[in-house]
Structure 1
Amino acid sequence: MRVRKGRVLRIVDGENKFYLISRDGKSWLPGGSVLLTNKQGPHIGIAAVSRPEISSYQKGYFGTVQAGILLGNRSEKNDAPFSFSILQGYRLNAWFAPGFETGIDFFDDGVMPLHATASFFFSTGQFTPILSVKGGWSIPLAREKAVNTYYSDFYYNNSYYGGLKLETKGGTSLNPEFSIMRMMNNDVGWIFSCGYRFQRLTYQQGEKGDTNYYKKERDINRLSLRVGLLFR
Protein backbone atom coordinates (compact mmCIF):
# COMPACT_ATOMS: atom_id res chain seq x y z
CA MET A 1 0.00 0.00 0.00
CA ARG A 2 1.36 3.42 -0.90
CA VAL A 3 0.85 6.25 1.58
CA ARG A 4 1.29 9.92 0.74
CA LYS A 5 4.50 11.35 2.16
CA GLY A 6 4.06 12.74 5.66
CA ARG A 7 0.82 10.80 6.31
CA VAL A 8 1.12 8.27 9.14
CA LEU A 9 -1.70 5.73 9.38
CA ARG A 10 -2.54 2.94 11.75
CA ILE A 11 -5.08 0.12 11.66
CA VAL A 12 -7.69 -0.31 14.36
CA ASP A 13 -10.54 -2.73 14.82
CA GLY A 14 -13.96 -1.27 15.60
CA GLU A 15 -17.13 -3.35 15.60
CA ASN A 16 -15.43 -6.09 13.52
CA LYS A 17 -14.43 -3.59 10.84
CA PHE A 18 -10.98 -2.27 10.05
CA TYR A 19 -10.30 1.39 9.39
CA LEU A 20 -7.27 3.47 8.51
CA ILE A 21 -6.88 6.27 11.07
CA SER A 22 -4.66 9.28 10.51
CA ARG A 23 -2.33 10.43 13.26
CA ASP A 24 -4.54 13.44 14.06
CA GLY A 25 -7.39 11.06 14.90
CA LYS A 26 -9.58 11.79 11.87
CA SER A 27 -11.01 8.54 10.43
CA TRP A 28 -10.75 8.81 6.66
CA LEU A 29 -9.26 7.34 3.48
CA PRO A 30 -8.46 9.32 0.33
CA GLY A 31 -10.00 6.80 -2.09
CA GLY A 32 -12.25 3.75 -2.24
CA SER A 33 -11.77 0.45 -0.42
CA VAL A 34 -8.23 -0.68 0.34
CA LEU A 35 -6.88 -4.24 0.22
CA LEU A 36 -3.95 -5.36 2.35
CA THR A 37 -2.05 -8.62 1.86
CA ASN A 38 0.15 -10.17 4.54
CA LYS A 39 3.02 -12.57 3.95
CA GLN A 40 0.85 -15.65 4.43
CA GLY A 41 -1.51 -14.58 1.68
CA PRO A 42 -4.90 -13.80 3.29
CA HIS A 43 -6.46 -10.54 2.27
CA ILE A 44 -7.88 -8.01 4.71
CA GLY A 45 -10.54 -5.68 3.39
CA ILE A 46 -10.50 -2.19 4.87
CA ALA A 47 -13.62 -0.06 4.63
CA ALA A 48 -13.14 3.45 3.36
CA VAL A 49 -14.65 6.29 5.36
CA SER A 50 -14.84 9.94 4.40
CA ARG A 51 -13.17 12.82 6.24
CA PRO A 52 -15.53 14.11 8.96
CA GLU A 53 -17.26 17.31 7.85
CA ILE A 54 -16.22 20.38 9.83
CA SER A 55 -19.17 22.60 10.71
CA SER A 56 -19.41 25.89 12.56
CA TYR A 57 -22.88 25.03 13.81
CA GLN A 58 -23.53 23.13 17.00
CA LYS A 59 -26.49 23.98 19.17
CA GLY A 60 -25.60 24.94 22.72
CA TYR A 61 -22.83 26.74 24.60
CA PHE A 62 -19.77 28.33 22.99
CA GLY A 63 -17.14 30.80 24.16
CA THR A 64 -14.60 33.12 22.58
CA VAL A 65 -11.38 34.65 23.90
CA GLN A 66 -9.96 37.56 21.88
CA ALA A 67 -7.21 40.16 22.16
CA GLY A 68 -6.31 43.14 20.01
CA ILE A 69 -5.99 46.92 19.77
CA LEU A 70 -8.32 49.93 19.57
CA LEU A 71 -7.25 52.38 16.86
CA GLY A 72 -8.59 55.89 16.41
CA ASN A 73 -8.64 59.28 18.13
CA ARG A 74 -5.39 59.69 19.97
CA SER A 75 -4.62 60.67 23.54
CA GLU A 76 -1.43 61.86 25.10
CA LYS A 77 -1.07 58.56 26.93
CA ASN A 78 -2.24 55.81 24.60
CA ASP A 79 -2.32 55.83 20.79
CA ALA A 80 -3.43 52.19 20.39
CA PRO A 81 -4.99 50.82 23.58
CA PHE A 82 -4.98 47.09 24.27
CA SER A 83 -8.30 45.22 24.34
CA PHE A 84 -9.12 41.80 25.78
CA SER A 85 -12.55 40.15 25.79
CA ILE A 86 -14.26 36.94 26.90
CA LEU A 87 -17.66 36.12 25.40
CA GLN A 88 -20.03 33.40 26.62
CA GLY A 89 -22.84 32.57 24.21
CA TYR A 90 -25.54 30.03 23.48
CA ARG A 91 -26.29 28.98 19.89
CA LEU A 92 -30.07 28.74 19.67
CA ASN A 93 -30.09 27.70 16.02
CA ALA A 94 -27.92 27.85 12.90
CA TRP A 95 -28.04 31.63 12.61
CA PHE A 96 -28.57 33.27 16.03
CA ALA A 97 -26.84 33.25 19.43
CA PRO A 98 -27.38 35.59 22.42
CA GLY A 99 -24.61 35.99 24.98
CA PHE A 100 -22.67 38.07 27.47
CA GLU A 101 -19.21 39.66 27.11
CA THR A 102 -16.73 41.16 29.52
CA GLY A 103 -13.01 41.92 29.51
CA ILE A 104 -10.65 44.88 29.82
CA ASP A 105 -10.17 47.87 27.48
CA PHE A 106 -7.27 50.25 28.14
CA PHE A 107 -8.01 53.77 27.01
CA ASP A 108 -6.31 56.46 29.16
CA ASP A 109 -7.54 54.35 32.06
CA GLY A 110 -8.76 50.77 32.10
CA VAL A 111 -12.46 49.93 31.95
CA MET A 112 -14.29 46.61 32.26
CA PRO A 113 -17.15 46.43 29.73
CA LEU A 114 -20.31 44.48 30.58
CA HIS A 115 -22.02 43.77 27.25
CA ALA A 116 -25.15 41.91 26.26
CA THR A 117 -24.47 40.40 22.82
CA ALA A 118 -26.44 39.19 19.82
CA SER A 119 -24.49 37.25 17.17
CA PHE A 120 -25.82 36.43 13.69
CA PHE A 121 -24.12 33.60 11.72
CA PHE A 122 -24.34 33.56 7.91
CA SER A 123 -23.12 30.01 7.27
CA THR A 124 -22.79 26.59 8.91
CA GLY A 125 -19.61 25.67 7.03
CA GLN A 126 -15.98 25.71 8.09
CA PHE A 127 -15.67 29.43 7.17
CA THR A 128 -18.39 31.60 8.69
CA PRO A 129 -19.10 35.37 8.57
CA ILE A 130 -20.56 36.69 11.83
CA LEU A 131 -22.25 40.00 12.64
CA SER A 132 -22.32 40.83 16.36
CA VAL A 133 -24.09 43.65 18.19
CA LYS A 134 -22.70 44.33 21.68
CA GLY A 135 -23.75 47.00 24.12
CA GLY A 136 -24.07 47.87 27.77
CA TRP A 137 -22.05 49.63 30.45
CA SER A 138 -18.38 49.87 31.40
CA ILE A 139 -17.00 49.95 34.94
CA PRO A 140 -13.81 52.03 35.45
CA LEU A 141 -10.85 50.25 37.05
CA ALA A 142 -9.49 53.46 38.63
CA ARG A 143 -11.49 55.17 41.41
CA GLU A 144 -10.37 58.69 40.54
CA LYS A 145 -8.57 60.61 37.82
CA ALA A 146 -6.69 63.89 37.62
CA VAL A 147 -8.15 66.12 34.88
CA ASN A 148 -7.45 69.66 33.73
CA THR A 149 -10.29 72.18 33.93
CA TYR A 150 -11.07 75.88 34.25
CA TYR A 151 -11.75 76.55 37.90
CA SER A 152 -14.07 79.42 36.94
CA ASP A 153 -16.54 76.76 35.81
CA PHE A 154 -17.67 76.42 39.42
CA TYR A 155 -15.43 78.33 41.86
CA TYR A 156 -14.00 81.70 40.81
CA ASN A 157 -14.83 84.72 38.68
CA ASN A 158 -11.27 84.85 37.37
CA SER A 159 -10.64 81.63 35.47
CA TYR A 160 -7.37 79.81 35.40
CA TYR A 161 -6.36 76.37 34.16
CA GLY A 162 -5.38 73.70 36.68
CA GLY A 163 -5.65 70.11 37.79
CA LEU A 164 -8.50 68.51 39.67
CA LYS A 165 -9.06 64.97 40.94
CA LEU A 166 -12.46 63.65 40.01
CA GLU A 167 -14.27 60.42 40.84
CA THR A 168 -14.57 58.05 37.87
CA LYS A 169 -18.03 56.81 36.90
CA GLY A 170 -19.25 54.12 34.54
CA GLY A 171 -20.36 54.95 31.02
CA THR A 172 -22.25 53.71 27.98
CA SER A 173 -20.35 51.13 25.94
CA LEU A 174 -21.09 49.91 22.38
CA ASN A 175 -19.23 47.55 20.05
CA PRO A 176 -20.89 46.39 16.79
CA GLU A 177 -18.47 43.98 15.12
CA PHE A 178 -17.97 41.89 11.97
CA SER A 179 -16.01 38.64 12.25
CA ILE A 180 -14.73 35.76 10.14
CA MET A 181 -14.52 32.38 11.88
CA ARG A 182 -12.54 29.38 10.62
CA MET A 183 -13.11 26.11 12.45
CA MET A 184 -10.00 23.93 12.85
CA ASN A 185 -12.20 21.04 13.94
CA ASN A 186 -15.69 20.74 15.37
CA ASP A 187 -14.58 22.00 18.78
CA VAL A 188 -12.09 24.87 18.21
CA GLY A 189 -11.78 27.63 15.63
CA TRP A 190 -9.98 30.89 14.90
CA ILE A 191 -11.96 34.13 14.89
CA PHE A 192 -10.86 37.47 13.36
CA SER A 193 -12.92 40.58 14.21
CA CYS A 194 -13.16 44.20 13.10
CA GLY A 195 -15.62 46.63 14.62
CA TYR A 196 -16.55 50.06 15.95
CA ARG A 197 -15.94 50.74 19.66
CA PHE A 198 -17.72 53.59 21.45
CA GLN A 199 -17.00 54.38 25.11
CA ARG A 200 -18.29 57.25 27.24
CA LEU A 201 -16.08 58.09 30.24
CA THR A 202 -17.61 60.19 33.04
CA TYR A 203 -15.74 62.08 35.78
CA GLN A 204 -17.52 63.79 38.65
CA GLN A 205 -16.98 65.74 41.85
CA GLY A 206 -19.72 65.88 44.46
CA GLU A 207 -23.39 65.30 43.73
CA LYS A 208 -25.80 67.37 41.69
CA GLY A 209 -26.95 70.32 43.80
CA ASP A 210 -23.71 70.58 45.81
CA THR A 211 -21.78 73.85 45.65
CA ASN A 212 -18.67 72.01 44.46
CA TYR A 213 -20.50 69.82 41.93
CA TYR A 214 -18.63 69.30 38.66
CA LYS A 215 -19.11 66.70 35.92
CA LYS A 216 -17.09 66.02 32.80
CA GLU A 217 -17.87 63.52 30.03
CA ARG A 218 -15.55 62.23 27.35
CA ASP A 219 -16.66 60.19 24.31
CA ILE A 220 -14.13 57.86 22.70
CA ASN A 221 -14.56 56.40 19.19
CA ARG A 222 -12.24 53.61 18.09
CA LEU A 223 -11.71 50.96 15.42
CA SER A 224 -11.34 47.59 17.15
CA LEU A 225 -9.14 44.86 15.63
CA ARG A 226 -9.02 41.55 17.47
CA VAL A 227 -8.09 37.90 16.98
CA GLY A 228 -8.77 34.91 19.16
CA LEU A 229 -10.24 31.43 19.60
CA LEU A 230 -13.76 30.03 19.67
CA PHE A 231 -14.36 26.84 21.64
CA ARG A 232 -17.34 24.69 22.61
Structure 2
Amino acid sequence: MTQGLAQDKKYGFFKKYPFVNITELGASFGRNKYQTNAYYNSYYPQPILYQTQNRVNFTLHTFNGVYVNPKTAIGLTVGVDSYGETVLMPISAGIRRNLVQKKQGGSILLGSLDVGYSTIWLNEDNTGYKTSGGLVVCPTIGYKFPMRNGSAWMMNFGYRFQRAEYKQQRTEDQFYWTESNEVRNYRRMVVRFGIEF
Protein backbone atom coordinates (compact mmCIF):
# COMPACT_ATOMS: atom_id res chain seq x y z
CA MET A 1 0.00 0.00 0.00
CA THR A 2 2.81 2.38 0.89
CA GLN A 3 4.57 1.60 -2.41
CA GLY A 4 1.36 2.32 -4.33
CA LEU A 5 1.02 5.72 -2.65
CA ALA A 6 4.65 6.56 -3.49
CA GLN A 7 4.06 5.68 -7.14
CA ASP A 8 0.88 7.79 -7.21
CA LYS A 9 2.83 10.76 -5.86
CA LYS A 10 5.60 10.24 -8.42
CA TYR A 11 3.27 10.04 -11.39
CA GLY A 12 1.06 12.73 -9.90
CA PHE A 13 3.96 15.21 -10.07
CA PHE A 14 4.54 14.59 -13.78
CA LYS A 15 0.80 14.67 -14.40
CA LYS A 16 0.69 18.14 -12.87
CA TYR A 17 4.03 19.22 -14.39
CA PRO A 18 4.47 17.29 -17.67
CA PHE A 19 8.03 16.38 -18.69
CA VAL A 20 9.33 17.86 -21.95
CA ASN A 21 12.39 17.20 -24.12
CA ILE A 22 13.39 19.57 -26.94
CA THR A 23 16.35 18.50 -29.07
CA GLU A 24 17.65 20.90 -31.73
CA LEU A 25 20.37 20.76 -34.37
CA GLY A 26 21.59 23.81 -36.23
CA ALA A 27 24.30 26.21 -37.31
CA SER A 28 25.84 29.38 -35.89
CA PHE A 29 27.07 32.23 -38.07
CA GLY A 30 29.76 34.75 -37.14
CA ARG A 31 33.41 35.76 -37.41
CA ASN A 32 36.44 34.02 -35.90
CA LYS A 33 39.94 35.29 -35.21
CA TYR A 34 42.90 33.23 -36.35
CA GLN A 35 46.64 33.65 -35.90
CA THR A 36 48.52 34.76 -39.02
CA ASN A 37 52.14 34.70 -37.85
CA ALA A 38 54.37 32.05 -36.31
CA TYR A 39 56.35 32.48 -33.11
CA TYR A 40 60.07 32.61 -33.89
CA ASN A 41 62.80 31.11 -31.73
CA SER A 42 64.02 34.21 -29.96
CA TYR A 43 64.58 35.59 -26.52
CA TYR A 44 62.39 38.54 -27.51
CA PRO A 45 58.62 37.80 -27.62
CA GLN A 46 57.11 38.36 -31.06
CA PRO A 47 53.72 40.10 -31.41
CA ILE A 48 50.84 37.78 -32.25
CA LEU A 49 48.88 38.99 -35.25
CA TYR A 50 45.29 38.01 -35.94
CA GLN A 51 42.81 38.32 -38.77
CA THR A 52 39.11 37.56 -38.86
CA GLN A 53 37.10 35.39 -41.22
CA ASN A 54 33.46 34.38 -41.61
CA ARG A 55 32.62 31.01 -40.12
CA VAL A 56 29.67 28.63 -40.04
CA ASN A 57 29.80 26.27 -37.07
CA PHE A 58 27.85 23.29 -35.77
CA THR A 59 25.52 23.44 -32.74
CA LEU A 60 23.47 20.73 -30.98
CA HIS A 61 21.34 21.31 -27.88
CA THR A 62 18.87 19.32 -25.81
CA PHE A 63 16.49 20.88 -23.26
CA ASN A 64 14.95 18.70 -20.53
CA GLY A 65 12.41 20.15 -18.14
CA VAL A 66 8.81 20.37 -17.00
CA TYR A 67 5.84 22.53 -17.91
CA VAL A 68 5.04 24.64 -14.84
CA ASN A 69 1.91 25.85 -16.64
CA PRO A 70 0.45 25.12 -20.11
CA LYS A 71 2.61 27.83 -21.73
CA THR A 72 5.88 27.80 -19.77
CA ALA A 73 8.57 25.13 -19.36
CA ILE A 74 11.72 25.40 -17.23
CA GLY A 75 14.66 23.01 -17.18
CA LEU A 76 18.29 22.30 -18.04
CA THR A 77 19.92 22.71 -21.45
CA VAL A 78 23.05 20.76 -22.42
CA GLY A 79 24.74 21.29 -25.77
CA VAL A 80 27.76 21.02 -28.03
CA ASP A 81 29.12 24.06 -29.92
CA SER A 82 32.09 24.07 -32.27
CA TYR A 83 34.26 27.14 -32.89
CA GLY A 84 36.95 26.10 -35.34
CA GLU A 85 39.33 23.83 -33.40
CA THR A 86 37.52 24.49 -30.10
CA VAL A 87 34.56 22.40 -28.91
CA LEU A 88 32.59 23.80 -25.96
CA MET A 89 29.85 22.05 -23.99
CA PRO A 90 27.48 24.60 -22.45
CA ILE A 91 25.28 23.68 -19.48
CA SER A 92 22.50 26.20 -18.91
CA ALA A 93 19.31 26.92 -17.04
CA GLY A 94 16.59 27.31 -19.67
CA ILE A 95 13.06 28.58 -20.09
CA ARG A 96 10.66 28.00 -22.99
CA ARG A 97 7.52 30.12 -23.35
CA ASN A 98 4.62 29.87 -25.80
CA LEU A 99 3.94 33.50 -26.72
CA VAL A 100 1.16 33.57 -29.34
CA GLN A 101 -1.17 30.91 -30.74
CA LYS A 102 -3.98 32.13 -32.96
CA LYS A 103 -5.99 28.91 -33.04
CA GLN A 104 -6.10 25.65 -31.13
CA GLY A 105 -3.68 23.15 -32.66
CA GLY A 106 -2.05 25.78 -34.87
CA SER A 107 1.52 27.03 -34.97
CA ILE A 108 2.88 28.79 -31.87
CA LEU A 109 5.26 31.74 -31.63
CA LEU A 110 7.88 30.57 -29.12
CA GLY A 111 10.47 32.45 -27.06
CA SER A 112 13.35 30.89 -25.14
CA LEU A 113 16.35 31.87 -23.03
CA ASP A 114 19.37 29.85 -21.85
CA VAL A 115 21.94 31.20 -19.37
CA GLY A 116 24.84 29.14 -18.06
CA TYR A 117 28.50 28.16 -18.34
CA SER A 118 30.37 26.48 -21.18
CA THR A 119 32.65 23.61 -20.16
CA ILE A 120 35.59 22.07 -22.06
CA TRP A 121 34.75 18.42 -21.31
CA LEU A 122 34.70 17.52 -25.03
CA ASN A 123 37.62 19.72 -26.07
CA GLU A 124 41.17 18.52 -26.71
CA ASP A 125 43.91 21.16 -26.64
CA ASN A 126 47.05 21.21 -28.74
CA THR A 127 50.41 20.97 -26.94
CA GLY A 128 51.18 24.20 -25.09
CA TYR A 129 47.58 25.43 -25.12
CA LYS A 130 44.94 25.46 -22.40
CA THR A 131 41.30 26.37 -23.06
CA SER A 132 38.78 27.46 -20.41
CA GLY A 133 35.05 27.96 -20.83
CA GLY A 134 32.89 30.82 -19.61
CA LEU A 135 29.52 32.53 -19.58
CA VAL A 136 26.98 31.57 -22.24
CA VAL A 137 23.72 33.44 -23.00
CA CYS A 138 21.31 32.49 -25.79
CA PRO A 139 17.93 34.16 -26.39
CA THR A 140 15.91 32.84 -29.36
CA ILE A 141 12.51 33.24 -30.97
CA GLY A 142 10.83 30.91 -33.40
CA TYR A 143 7.90 28.69 -34.22
CA LYS A 144 6.52 25.45 -32.86
CA PHE A 145 4.38 23.30 -35.16
CA PRO A 146 2.28 20.85 -33.09
CA MET A 147 1.60 17.33 -34.35
CA ARG A 148 -1.41 15.15 -33.60
CA ASN A 149 0.57 12.79 -31.37
CA GLY A 150 1.45 15.61 -28.94
CA SER A 151 4.98 16.23 -30.25
CA ALA A 152 5.97 19.33 -32.21
CA TRP A 153 8.50 20.45 -34.80
CA MET A 154 10.65 23.45 -33.85
CA MET A 155 12.35 26.22 -35.82
CA ASN A 156 14.29 28.89 -33.89
CA PHE A 157 16.40 31.95 -34.70
CA GLY A 158 18.48 33.79 -32.15
CA TYR A 159 21.70 35.22 -30.77
CA ARG A 160 24.40 33.35 -28.89
CA PHE A 161 27.12 34.84 -26.69
CA GLN A 162 29.79 32.46 -25.45
CA ARG A 163 33.01 33.33 -23.63
CA ALA A 164 36.24 31.32 -23.69
CA GLU A 165 39.81 31.88 -22.51
CA TYR A 166 42.95 30.60 -24.21
CA LYS A 167 46.39 30.32 -22.62
CA GLN A 168 49.50 29.51 -24.63
CA GLN A 169 52.89 28.72 -23.12
CA ARG A 170 55.99 28.90 -25.31
CA THR A 171 59.27 27.43 -24.08
CA GLU A 172 62.58 28.63 -25.54
CA ASP A 173 64.81 26.61 -23.26
CA GLN A 174 64.85 25.36 -19.68
CA PHE A 175 65.36 28.90 -18.34
CA TYR A 176 63.02 30.96 -20.50
CA TRP A 177 59.33 30.75 -21.38
CA THR A 178 56.51 33.12 -22.15
CA GLU A 179 52.76 32.84 -21.66
CA SER A 180 50.02 34.62 -23.55
CA ASN A 181 46.41 34.88 -22.39
CA GLU A 182 43.52 35.64 -24.71
CA VAL A 183 39.81 36.01 -23.98
CA ARG A 184 37.41 35.48 -26.86
CA ASN A 185 33.77 36.51 -26.79
CA TYR A 186 32.01 34.49 -29.47
CA ARG A 187 28.97 36.31 -30.82
CA ARG A 188 26.84 34.24 -33.18
CA MET A 189 23.52 34.27 -34.95
CA VAL A 190 21.98 30.81 -34.63
CA VAL A 191 19.44 28.85 -36.67
CA ARG A 192 18.15 25.63 -35.12
CA PHE A 193 15.66 22.95 -36.12
CA GLY A 194 14.38 20.29 -33.80
CA ILE A 195 11.56 18.35 -32.23
CA GLU A 196 9.71 18.49 -28.91
CA PHE A 197 8.54 15.32 -27.17
Is this a same-fold pair by TM over 0.5?
yes
Instruction: Name the amino acid aligned to 1:106.
Output: S
Extract unaligned runs of 5+ from structure 1: 1-57, 147-164
1:203 aligned residue:
166
> Alignment partner of 1:187: what SS?
coil
Pick closer, same or farther for the CA change 1:142–1:106 going to 2, 3 Å.
same
Instruction: Name the amino acid aligned to 1:201.
Output: A
Instruction: Name the amino acid aligned to 2:185.
Output: D
Distance apart, 1:98 and its partner CA: 0.8
Q: Does 1:99 align with 2:75?
A: yes
1:136 aligned residue:
116
Among 153, 161, 164, the alignment partner of 1:190 is: 153
Calculate the TM-score normalised by the size of structure 2: 0.69
- State the identity as a percent: 24
Residues 41-83 of structure 1 deviation map (CA, whole Å, 9 limit, x = unaligned)? xxxxxxxxxxxxxxxxx95111111101001224568721011
Residues 30 and 54 in structure 2, CA contact (< 8 A), matched pair in contact too: no
The whole-number CA distance in structure 2 between the counterparts of 1:78 and 1:103 is: 22
Calculate the TM-score normalised by the size of structure 1: 0.59
Number of matched pairs:
152
The whole-number CA distance in structure 2 between the counterparts of 1:70 and 1:176 is: 13
2:186 aligned residue:
220
Listed as ranges, the matches of 1:143-158 within 5 Å are 143-145=124-126
1:121 aligned residue:
98
Distance apart, 1:119 and its partner CA: 1.6
Instruction: Name the amino acid aligned to 2:70.
Output: A
- Report which of the two structures shows the higher radius of gyration computed on alpha carbons: 1
The whole-number CA distance in structure 2 between the counterparts of 1:70 and 1:85 is: 12
Among 139, 144, 147, the alignment partner of 1:181 is: 144
> Alignment partner of 1:80: what SS?
strand
Q: Does 1:63 align with 2:21?
A: yes
> Alignment partner of 1:142: what SS?
coil
2:172 aligned residue:
none
Distance apart, 1:205 and its partner CA: 5.5
2:130 aligned residue:
167
Residues 82 and 105 in structure 1, CA contact (< 8 A), matched pair in contact too: yes
Distance apart, 1:189 and its partner CA: 1.0
Residues 12-69 of structure 1 deviation map (CA, whole Å, 9 limit, x = unaligned)? xxxxxxxxxxxxxxxxxxxxxxxxxxxxxxxxxxxxxxxxxxxxxx951111111010
Instruction: Name the amino acid aligned to 1:121.
Output: N
The whole-number CA distance in structure 2 between the counterparts of 1:89 and 1:123 is: 21
Residues 174-221 of structure 1 deviation map (CA, whole Å, 9 limit, x = unaligned)? 111112001112421100000101111111358xxxx95542111111
Q: Does 1:229 align with 2:195?
A: yes
Distance apart, 1:145 and its partner CA: 4.2
Distance apart, 1:101 and its partner CA: 0.6
The whole-number CA distance in structure 2 between the counterparts of 1:213 and 1:80 is: 30
Residues 85 and 102 in structure 1, CA contact (< 8 A), matched pair in contact too: yes
Distance apart, 1:129 and its partner CA: 1.1
Instruction: Name the amino acid aligned to 1:222.
Output: R
